[in-house]
Structure 1
Amino acid sequence: MKNLCVAIIFLYLVSPSIAQEATLRLGVAGLTHGHVGWILGRGPHSDINMVGIVEQNKELAQRLSKQYGFSMDMVFDSMEEMIKSTKPDAVAAFGNIKEHLAVVEACAPKGVHVMVEKPLAISLEDARKIEALAKKYNIHVLTNYETSWYETNFKAKNLLEEEKIGDLRKVIIRDGHKGPKKIGVSPEFLEWLTDPNLNGGGAIMDFGCYGANLMTWLKNGEKPKTVTAVTQQLQAENNPNVDDDATIILTYNSTMAILEPSWNWPIGRKDMELFGENGAIYSDNANQLRIRISTGYSSFTEETLLFNDRPRPYDDPFSVFASVINGSLELEPYGPYTLENNMITMEILQASVESSKSGKTIHID
């Protein structure tokens, strides 16, 4: 009897954590996004079990099936079929950006949580519909950015809040690469990346979202007062229907941000520079950060810090997704993954597109 009582007490104490660690049943919506390899090639973890895939392009599905070893029996033609047959707890969207709204429309009424690849939507109108569905059906809708995994960005924000460089005055965020065609993305990925109806634009959307997302996080949800953007098409032969270079200027009460998304960088990059009254913080990449403190007109001290990848679950977007759903992780307000951040991000992107087309500065309420 004593042993039985001990066993009951033990189960009572550990059962909440056992429930939290329950394996998440994950569906995948689409295979055309080049980032889909992050989930298809994910190593074995106990937190997620991929149960179904939606993809109408069976040639693509067959190709990826051979590459990653999943069964074609898992592949369905529609969200409705996949959800009915596999009963997922959550879905990760890896199709074109326009499809994000349709994925949420299919999932939300059934209580299925959703994570999409950046940006949240092709337009603010679609984003507002997604937000309404998430609130109505009480589901999580996360947006995944590679820069959400960068330990340097989080260290930079901590240093900023500790007033290491004084009050923030200017931010420069640069993101991009040589261009989708030049870096050799798949034909299925290239087709919609360069279609304004499926991607919402070119580089201004594809990489402008990173800077808008990071600025919204750094400013703790504060919206910019104005948005001014210009775009160019420097590779008309590769990107005939969309911009491939953009500059976006955001103004806040005491800060200016310059976002430089481009498909024309000679070397791929995702970096951020923070300038305060007394110094600067350079988040060079995922693992290297530099701190410069002014010592005179042009003199300064410099410290270089190197970091490992973020600790679990923050090192992997799917672990973050599972942890948020099972309740073991609560995202910080206006954190990069959050819906509240990405609604403002979409407002900035919409204003950027409008500004680039009209040649006028857009004022945000």
Structure 2
Amino acid sequence: MKKRLSSFVFLFYLSIAFALGQEEKLKLAVAGLTHGHVGWVLSAIDRGDFELVGIAESNQELAEKYAEQYGFSMDLVFKDLEVMLEETQPEAVAAFANTFEHLKIVQAAAPRGIHVMVEKPLAVSLEHAQEMANLAQTHQIHLLTNYETSWYPTNHQAKEILESGEFGKAIKVIVRDGHRGPKKIGVGPEFLEWLTDPKLNGGGALMDFGCYGANLMTWLTNGERPLSVTAITQQLQPQNNPKVEDDATIIVNYPDKQLIIQASWNWPIGRKDMEIYAEKGIIYADDRNQLRTRMAEGYDGFQEKTVELPELDPPYPDPFLLLKAVIHHEIKLPPFDLYSLENNLIVMEILEAAKESAKKGKTIYFD
């Protein structure tokens, strides 16, 4: 535990040093406060790499609660998104509203040349995602999607090992994400209200946690589209999640490999992990920092190695540092990067097919 805390302290000061080393702050606005992860941006207001120029939130009581908690002025808060954008002229918007509103935010920001970063997933549906992509491309803005697992050094190390060829080609990838469920872990009422609403979230656990595996696999395969998707969903906590599924198993088939996504609001312990089964061994990204490898020996023997990885160098461990670096041309994201639009359009294809498969009870084939 002490080692883990030390790495976070080191990362914090490294991030500050990186931010202060940049001459120009990012002018950033926040659209919505109902997403439970909004604390990520509000807690970083004073660190120096961005200036919070405005917040759009119609729920003034919620805005006042956060203003008191994080110490920002209510003068920053606007009830209307478009008014906020016109009056504050941000370079970028971080979306922390419900997922259904992602399209509305891009519709307001893109024509003004304002870049957007949304919390995963990109949209509630493939139709919304495609419209957002068209707007981003037409108006030449960056449209990024933020996932917690994009910061995990274990995932990046796993990809490097796979690409080295040491373990051979990947045959099966299993990604497991989730927790006990939004109500059980005690998310705020404003978050719970839309997270368990099929319109505002696009579904339940399938959307909330199924997106992680699709995002990682699209990155690992450098943008390969699958052949088919088969999904089964369940509602194991009807009392807590009466409108949506809270458990999903998604099988994504490719010509020479398979992805299995296990997304659930029923895990007894919160988890975000990945297993890559290759020709010569297995790569386990157990959590953010612990990576294990097993090189096969004989029938059932293996040599196992475990490493505790340090955090990635800035700007990669922090979504707002990364957003600034991309907009200010300090870095260029590689094709099908975890944050990229082209990656997350394929993610939305997979999620859309998974919802259709679960509803119809059959495999959905891609064109």
> Shorter-normalised TM-score: what interval?
over 0.9
Aligned mates of 1:19, 1:148 — CA distance in 2: 23
User: Which structure would you say has the larger Rg?
Assistant: 1
Counterpart of 1:82? 84
Residue 33 (structure 1) aligns with? 35
Q: Which of 320, 327, 330 in structure 2 is aligned with 1:328?
A: 330
With over 3 angstroms needed to count, the CA separation of the structure-2 counterparts of 1:95 and 1:171, relative to structure 1, is same
**Which of 210, 226, 242 is the matching residue for 2:228?**
226
Q: Which runs of 5 or more residues in structure 1 are unaligned?
A: 1-17
Q: Secondary structure at the match of 2:99?
A: coil
Distance 1:164 1:362 in 2: 34
Task: Tell me how far apart the structure 2 counterparts of residues 242 and 276 of structure 1 sit (CA, whole Å).
Answer: 35
**Aligned residue among 120, 145, 167 for 2:147:** 145
Does residue 75 of structure 2 align to residue 73 of structure 1?
A: yes
Q: Percent of counterpart pairs with the same letter?
A: 60
Which deviations, in whole Å up to 9, do the C-alpha atoms of 1:267-297 show, x marking residues without a partner?
0000000001110000001100001000111
* Deviant stretches of 4+, over 6 Å: none
- Do the aligned partners of 2:45 and 2:51 also contact (CA within 8 Å) in 1? no
- Measure, in 1, the Cα distance between the counterparts of 2:38 and 2:257: 36
Q: Give the root-mean-square deviation of aligned CA atoms.
A: 1.2
Give the match for residue 309 of structure 2.
307
Match of residue 22 from structure 1? 24
Distance in 2 (CA, whole Å) between partners of 1:63 and 1:186 is 12
Q: Which amino acid aligns with 1:209?
A: C
Identify the match of residue 263 of structure 1 among 262, 265, 270: 265
**After the TM superposition, which residues 69-218 of structure 1 pair with which residues of structure 2 at under 5 Å, given as runs?**
69-218=71-220
| Contact 1:20 1:328 (8 Å CA) reproduced | no
Change (3 A) 1:21 1:351: farther
1:45 positional shift: 3.2
Q: Counterparts of 1:110 and 1:28 in 2: how far apart (Å)?
A: 15
Q: Secondary structure at the match of 1:240?
A: coil
CA contact (8 A) 1:224 1:250 kept: yes
- In structure 2, the partner of 1:364 is 366
Find the partner of 1:236 among 238, 258, 262. Answer: 238
User: For residue 279 of structure 1, what is the aligned residue in structure 2?
Assistant: 281
Match of 1:5 in 2: none
Aligned pair count? Answer: 348
Question: Contact 1:21–1:326 at 8 Å: present in 2 too?
Answer: no
Q: TM-score, normalised by structure 2?
A: 0.93
